[in-house]
Amino acid sequence: MPTKGERSLRVFDDLDALLVAAREEVVARAQKALRARRRFTLALSGGSTPKRLYESLATAEIDWARCQIFFGDERCVPPDHADSNYRMAREALLSKVAIPEKHVHRVKSEDADPERAAKAYEQELQSFFKLRPGELPTFDLCLMGMGPDGHTASLFPGTSALAEEVRLAAAPYVEKLNAWRVTLTAPVFNHARCVLFLVGGADKAEALKGVLESERPADELPSKLIKPSAGELLWWVDKAAAKLLSART
């Protein structure tokens, strides 16, 4: 069991096994949070890996009425757009469970001004978590993915959001995608009780080795920025993604 502030790596035979374990972990952490604080605050990651996890959570034993859902990042598209992380989560999970609408805190990604959307999201965090100026929210669990370039959430290599140490949310323009994003910043993720990375596929192997076992700078591999100060950091990967690692557990 990893101790606080430590990183732990688990390598699964394949993505199916990883996602089954991830479902159990989310349920366990939800139940623990609900027992301790009568609420579970969860930040969802986007992309394709977590979709099947969210689908499997739709039948999990979780008291969704006491859960609060946020998004680690969002594409600056309308909430019904095919690229929307909110749409993916709504279709896979949120539309299938008894979670009150006001407990789903989506980024207002339809706003034509990404910076204004980021500021609004930051205000939503400050209001929900009742933060004093300069205070960080504490999520019970942040689910995170990693791209083949080592990005996580919408913290992409070489973008301004990487250096953000004060703001809770930022609106980087991602050159290579020719797209605006809104993302939570590294300080927010690093203040979570637990960050769980779910990484599968051989296309992630190079970046994963770089993040976990190299001295390459975080500006090149932004997932390196995610190191919870007191929370747990779990890297759950499949064998294909882990194939270049020297450490196997």
Answer for which of 114, 137, 147, 222 binds ligand 6PG (CB under 6 A) is 147
8 A C-beta contact, residue 68 and residue 99 = no
Rounded to a whole number of angstroms, the minimum distance from the CB of residue 200 to ligand 6PG is 7
Region near ligand 6PG per CB under 6 A, out of 152-160, 164-172, 205-213, 228-236: 152-160
Amino acid (one-letter) located at 212: L
Q: Which of residues 28-67 bind ligand 6PG (CB under 6 A)?
A: 45-49
Count of chain residues binding ligand 6PG (CB under 6 A): 15
Least separation in angstroms between CB 197 and ligand 6PG: 9
Q: Is residue 245 near ligand 6PG by the rule CB under 6 A?
A: no
Q: List 197's β-bridge partners, or say none.
A: 144, 235
CB atoms within 10 A of CB 190: 18
3-class SS of residue 247: coil
- Exactly one of 85, 159, 185, 190 binds ligand 6PG (CB under 6 A); that residue is 85
Q: Does 72 bind ligand 6PG (CB under 6 A)?
A: yes
The beta-strand segments (E) located in 19-119 are 40-44, 67-71, 73-75
- Judged by CB, which is closer to ligand 6PG: 62, or 89? 89
Sign of CA dihedral 113, 114, 119, 120: positive
Interface region with ligand 6PG, contact rule CB under 6 A, candidates 4-12, 99-107, 151-159, 227-235 = 151-159
Nearer to ligand 6PG, 135 or 203 (CB): 203
- Distance separating alpha carbons of residues 3 and 184, to the nearest angstrom: 24
**Least Cβ distance, residue 85 to ligand 6PG (angstroms):** 5
HSE of 44, CA atoms in CB hemisphere, 13 A: 32
Residue 145, interface with ligand 6PG (CB under 6 A)?
yes
- Residue 153 is a binding residue for ligand 6PG (CB under 6 A): yes
Burial class (CB in 10 A: 0-12, 13-18, 19+), 108: middle
**Nearest distance in Å: CB 93, ligand 6PG:** 15
Q: 3-state DSSP call for residue 6?
A: coil
Three-class DSSP category at 26: helix
Q: Does 152 interact with ligand 6PG (rule: CB under 6 A)?
A: yes
Q: How far apart are CA 22 and CA 57, in angstroms?
A: 10
Write out the residues near ligand 6PG by the rule CB under 6 A. 45-49, 72-73, 85, 145-147, 151-154
